[in-house]
Structure 1
Amino acid sequence: MDKSNFRRWLTLAIISISGGISFDLAYLRYIFQIPMAKFMGFSNTEIGVIMSTFGITAIILYAPSGIIADKFSHRKMMSGGMLATGLLGLLMTTYPPFWAMLLIQVAFAFTTILMLWSVSIKAASLLGTTEEQGKIMGWMEGLRGIGVMVLAVSTMWVFSLFHPDDPHSLKAVILVYSVVYLLLGIACWLLVSDGHRPAEPQQQTAFQLQDIINVLKIPTTWYCSLIIFGVYVIYASLSYSTNYLAGIYGMSLVAASYMGVVINKIFRAICGPIGGLFTTYSRVKSPTRIIQLLSLAGLITLCLLLLLTAHPTSLALPMAMILLLAFTCYASRGLYFACITEARTPTRIIGTTVGICSVIGFLPDVFVYPLVGYWQDTLPAASAYRNLWLMGAAAMLMVLVFTALLFKEMKKKARTAAASQSTEYV
């Protein structure tokens, strides 16, 4: 590495935090839906349309974002993406009309997904060797979580400084996000490299559909995609865990809210790095193997939750099971993009592979929420959550199958590489 160790980890922190918090204005509804309706004049339906506009555009742009990561300067893309996102935030402070807000959401998808998503992941992966990918990706996920948590708490504090009826309260929140984005854009320009290693020839920048087709022909692309898919089903399912504890076990809404903070904020910040530490300090160095073991633990946990749903007992046991499931999920999330590098994916197509894996792997975002919502509306609570945990168990089985297939393919590639080396020495 040509970077000092301090500079390398500082760069990883800037890349991770930038990639993590860049979506916060697009997802402003998650924390500030009521103020958005009150001060920006949107109905809840319009806010939903605003959110879905970003989501649909994002799905379209995941794959092209991978090609951007492989063919363009990481420094220019990340710096430009953060600066553009900050400027769009300043535009939001004017409380634009509904049609303009839809255009801003589309623009957010271009600045965060197309310019930042795959670029940030590839830029982080290039900071470490193949053996360090578990540690790098684990810390990346943890630093993302820390950045999101710190900025969320900070903006909530800023919001609380104003009178509840003061329309400037939400403007101040958006302004804080915008300024942070602009500062991170400058930091990315100073710290992030262009993304081409010295031994690697400069890539052609022309877009070619064949690039995507070639990556889709590689079996490991599909194995990594479906591993991410399975883990993401659990990630989406965990958003219903507090509803489950409140509906089946009578947990109070206050206690359920604290449980949600622990799962969504604290666990996201600490579990990714812990997964990376497993690959560094345990006997099991492979990120793929760690994910396989975590999915086995997740499957056992889901089977226990199925039993507990059928025969509810004390609150402590299901709480413990859900926390364990959250740990397996967030630790796996910190590692699943490391599988791409571990599978010996050529550096020149890592970005395209990340983009395609994101399109396939994040598809649960499309179907899990309406499906579970339908179960909640049409079935008794116990039946709805039984189906939820069954879906999760099926997802964990999927992860077990495709981690095994990925291992088989990696061993095949290792034998081929060893054979070619032995031939060279003959």
Structure 2
Amino acid sequence: MTQKSKSSKVVTLILMILAMNTIYMLPYLMYTYYTPLQEAMGLIGRDADYGRLLNVYGIANVILYLPGGWVADKFDCKKLLVFSMVSTGVLGLWEATFPSYTILLLIHILFAVTTVLTFWSSSVKCVNMLADEGEQGGMFGSLEAGRGVSGLVLTIIFTSIYAVNAADSTKAMRLNVSIISVVMIVIGILLAVLMPKPKNTENATNATLLDSIKAMGVAFKCPVTYLLAGMIFCGSMCLASTTYFAPYLQNICGLPVKIGVLYSNYSKIVTQLIAASAAGILATKLKRSTKPMIVAGVVGAGLYIVMEILPASTAVMWPMLVVMTVALMMIYVFRALYYATVDEEGTPKNIVGSVIGISSLIGFIPDTFYTSLCGKWLEADPVGGYKKIFLSCILAMVIGLVCAFISDRRIVKFRAANNKEA
């Protein structure tokens, strides 16, 4: 690999990290600034309407995952990424005017178009095409680790901006939304100017609508689609469950509130950085992304069993904190590597987008119901509810482990067949 080729990969990867971290900030902004954003939108006392903004975005996402895969396989991924970043930024500037509720609903539906239909599958496919054979695990691991670092930096920047202007929450939120929007537009422009055209694009896109429909049909028949869906399902459900780690440690195990706040704010970022970096390095050295995932699946399932059987008591507070932290690392090993298996199993480039779209539709199903279900469990029986959450994670980890193991066998078989042909 030439120095120029290597540097262009690094630049592209950095831009992808920034793009993937910023583009979802606005749709999910209420997670960080629930009350201030609610005030700025004029929705105080209308919590159902306020929550509905995120609901319509989530429903539209589910609807658009499949056509998003088709779009990724039909059009140039660089153009799609540029369009996504710039258009999401423009929608954000519109949102910053805090228009009527009807317009806010429309903006959130359009957010789904620009962040899922034209971006999600295209962004994963772009990284897939960026990495050469043998680099997939390292590239996706670096992507996940980089997202942890940039997420921390961006969070510090935007929370600082809000803190300076917190006396006027509407002004503060308007400023934050506007700055995030401008940053996205700038990233879109940088992608257009600095991102080189991916190589081998002649085999990566489909020439006609009929070819794209056929590609989607092929993707539906590919085992890799459903194996990837299982691994995404594992990561999605287990990561959602980590929302309840700090409350369990505080409310059941007696962890001091100050430590609980620090844990909830920084545990994910730190473990994401460490686990994703280690996963990328191991995948490169072991020459298969599935090997670290198999280990993570075994360890993760074992740790969730420990959480299930340990008593709900202050006596196990510190051991439980350690167990939960290591389990969180195992989740990020999966998240860092499961997309790398698409290339390692020899998936044709012209169906990669469709594979990502279909598997995302299936794999992210927990996002549509799981936290609500957990809430019902906890309302009915706090301790028993947490135990049900841990049990759910055991089952999810087993699903991820089985899919990773089958994928590993398929990769070995694919490479053995290629060696024979050579």
TM-score, length basis structure 1: 0.93
Instruction: Check conservation: 1:16, 1:120, Cα contact below 8 A.
Output: no
Between Structure 1 and Structure 2, how many residues are aligned?
Answer: 418
Q: Distance in 1 between matches of 2:380 and 2:256?
A: 24
- Against the structure 1 CA distance between its residues 291 and 254, is the aligned structure 2 distance closer, same or farther, given a 3 Å change threshold? same
Is 1:244 aligned with 2:273?
Answer: no
Instruction: Check conservation: 1:226, 1:361, Cα contact below 8 A.
Output: yes
Is 1:59 aligned with 2:76?
Answer: no
- Unpaired segments ≥5 residues, structure 2: none
Q: Distance in 1 between matches of 2:311 and 2:374?
A: 16
Q: SS of the residue aligned with 2:167?
A: coil
Residue 319 of structure 2: aligned partner: 317
Q: Distance in 1 between matches of 2:301 and 2:365?
A: 21
Q: Distance in 2 between matches of 1:253 and 1:101?
A: 35
Instruction: Check conservation: 2:166, 2:172, Cα contact below 8 A.
Output: yes
- Against the structure 1 CA distance between its residues 159 and 202, is the aligned structure 2 distance closer, same or farther, given a 3 Å change threshold? closer
CA-to-aligned-CA distance 1:130-170 (integer Å, 9 cap, x gap): 21101100111122222232222211111111242352111
CA-to-aligned-CA distance 1:101-120 (integer Å, 9 cap, x gap): 11000111111111111111
Is 1:253 aligned with 2:257?
Answer: yes
Instruction: Check conservation: 1:279, 1:287, Cα contact below 8 A.
Output: yes
Higher deviation after alignment, 289-298 or 122-131: 122-131
Q: Distance in 2 between matches of 1:172 and 1:138?
A: 33
Higher deviation after alignment, 298-307 or 401-410: 401-410
Q: What letter corresponds to residue 342 of structure 1 in structure 2?
A: E
Residue 299 of structure 1: aligned partner: 301
User: RMSD in angstroms over aligned alpha carbons?
Assistant: 1.9
Residue 414 of structure 1: aligned partner: 415
Higher deviation after alignment, 298-307 or 141-150: 141-150
Instruction: Check conservation: 1:76, 1:194, Cα contact below 8 A.
Output: no
CA-to-aligned-CA distance 1:74-111 (integer Å, 9 cap, x gap): 22111111111111111011111111011000111111
CA apart distance, 1:415? 4.1
Q: Distance in 2 between matches of 1:205 and 1:196?
A: 20
Instruction: Check conservation: 1:15, 1:120, Cα contact below 8 A.
Output: yes
- Against the structure 1 CA distance between its residues 202 and 66, is the aligned structure 2 distance closer, same or farther, given a 3 Å change threshold? closer
Instruction: Check conservation: 2:36, 2:169, Cα contact below 8 A.
Output: no
- Against the structure 1 CA distance between its residues 412 and 166, is the aligned structure 2 distance closer, same or farther, given a 3 Å change threshold? closer
- Against the structure 1 CA distance between its residues 206 and 193, is the aligned structure 2 distance closer, same or farther, given a 3 Å change threshold? farther
CA apart distance, 1:265? 2.6
CA apart distance, 1:205? 4.6
CA apart distance, 1:252? 2.8
Q: Distance in 2 between matches of 1:280 and 1:230?
A: 23
Alignment identity in percent? 27
Residue 392 of structure 2: aligned partner: 391
Is 1:119 aligned with 2:122?
Answer: yes
Q: Distance in 2 between matches of 1:46 and 1:110?
A: 21
Residue 236 of structure 2: aligned partner: 232
Q: Distance in 2 between matches of 1:350 and 1:317?
A: 42
CA-to-aligned-CA distance 1:43-86 (integer Å, 9 cap, x gap): 22122100111111111111222222222112211111111111
- Against the structure 1 CA distance between its residues 240 and 217, is the aligned structure 2 distance closer, same or farther, given a 3 Å change threshold? same
CA apart distance, 1:309? 3.5
- Aligned counterpart in structure 1 of residue 140 of structure 2, from 137, 141, 145: 137
CA apart distance, 1:194? 4.0
Q: Distance in 1 between matches of 2:276 and 2:79?
A: 27
Is 1:186 aligned with 2:189?
Answer: yes
CA apart distance, 1:213? 2.3
Higher deviation after alignment, 289-298 or 3-12: 3-12
Q: Distance in 1 between matches of 2:311 and 2:217?
A: 44
Q: SS of the residue aligned with 1:249?
A: coil
Residue 12 of structure 1: aligned partner: 13
CA apart distance, 1:360? 1.1
Q: SS of the residue aligned with 2:97?
A: coil
Instruction: Check conservation: 2:283, 2:291, Cα contact below 8 A.
Output: no
Residue 374 of structure 1: aligned partner: 376
CA-to-aligned-CA distance 1:383-414 (integer Å, 9 cap, x gap): 11111111111111112222222223333333
Structure 2 matches for 1:337-376, cutoff 5 A? 337-376=339-378
Residue 92 of structure 2: aligned partner: 89
Higher deviation after alignment, 179-188 or 252-261: 252-261
Instruction: Check conservation: 1:58, 1:113, Cα contact below 8 A.
Output: yes
Q: What letter corresponds to residue 385 of structure 2 in structure 1?
A: A
Instruction: Check conservation: 1:275, 1:331, Cα contact below 8 A.
Output: yes
Q: Distance in 1 between matches of 2:30 and 2:201?
A: 43
Q: What letter corresponds to residue 406 of structure 1 in structure 2?
A: S
Q: Distance in 1 between matches of 2:204 and 2:38?
A: 51
CA apart distance, 1:419? 4.4
- Against the structure 1 CA distance between its residues 414 and 8, is the aligned structure 2 distance closer, same or farther, given a 3 Å change threshold? closer
CA-to-aligned-CA distance 1:280-315 (integer Å, 9 cap, x gap): 24xx33111111110111011111111223565232
- Aligned counterpart in structure 2 of residue 278 of structure 1, from 277, 282, 294: 282
Residue 424 of structure 1: aligned partner: none
Higher deviation after alignment, 95-104 or 62-71: 62-71
